[in-house]
Amino acid sequence: MPSVTRRPQANRQERRGQIERQLLDATERLMADGASFTELSVDRLATEAGISRASFYVYFEDKGHLLRRLAGQVFDDLATAAERWWSVSGRRDPADVLAAMTALVSTYRHHQPLLVALNEMAGYDAAVGTTYREILATIATRLTAVIAEGQRDGSIRQELSAPMAATSLTWMVERTCQQNLPEAPESGDGELAATLTQIVWGALYLEAP
C-alpha cells in the first residue's frame, strides 16, 4: 500500500522545483535589465516571479539560500549540455566534443547574469562559495569517469591522472566562459566552442581530430 505521506512530499518537491525555475527566470530577467543581485530585494524577486513574499520564505531562508538553489538549476543545464559528449564518448568523435562545447557556451551565455552573481557572492558568502565548488566538483567527477573509460580502451593518454585532468579541464572551461562571454558578442560563441574543443581533444586524445 502506498505511503500516505509520499504524495504530499512529492507535491511539495514539485512545487519547490516550479518556484525555483520561476525565480531563476525572474532573477535573470531583472539582472539582464541591469540590476545586480545584491540590489534585488526579496519583494522584487517574488513579484517578478509571480509568487508571494510568504511563498518565498516557505522554501528559502534568504537570498543566499535562493542563489545556492538556483546554482543547482544552472549547473544541471550545464551537465545536460556536457552529456552530448559524455553519453557517447565511446564513439571517440570530435564532433561530439564540439556539440558539447557549443551547448556549454550557449548555456553559459543564457545564464550569464546569474553566473556573474554566483561569482560575486562566492567571494564573500562562504556557503555560496562552497556550493559553487561542490557543483563543479560533481561535473569533474563525471568527466573523470569519461577519461578513465577512454584510458581503458586506449583512446585517451595513459599518463594523465584522470581526476586531475578532469578537474583542470572543468575549471578551464568555466573560467574561460566566465571571463570571455560578458564582454564578447554572441557572434563569437562558435569560435570559442571550436577553440575549447581543440584544447580538450588535444589534451586528452591520442588521435588527431
DSSP symbols for 74-85: HHHHHHHHHHHH
CA 109 to chain centre: 11
Residue with cell 565548488: 133
Residue 4 has pLDDT above 80, yes or no: no
Residue with cell 586528452: 204
Of the chain, the percentage scoring pLDDT greater than 70 comes to 96
Predicted local confidence at residue 6, as pLDDT? 62
Q: How far are the Cα atoms of 4, 12, 22, 65, 130 from residue 9, in angstroms, in the given order?
A: 10, 5, 20, 20, 27
Better pLDDT: 123 or 159: 159
Cβ(196)–Cβ(173) below 8 Å: yes
Mean pLDDT estimate for the chain: 89
Residue with cell 557572434: 187
**Low-confidence winner among 30-39, 44-53, 156-165 (lowest mean pLDDT):** 30-39
**Single-letter residue type at 204:** L
What's the topology of domain 62-204? Tetracycline Repressor; domain 2 (1.10.357)
pLDDT tier at 143 (50, 70, 90 boundaries)?
very high
Whole-prediction pTM value? Answer: 0.81
Pick the CATH number of 1-60 from 3.40.190.10, 1.10.10.60, 1.10.1740.10, 3.30.300.340: 1.10.10.60
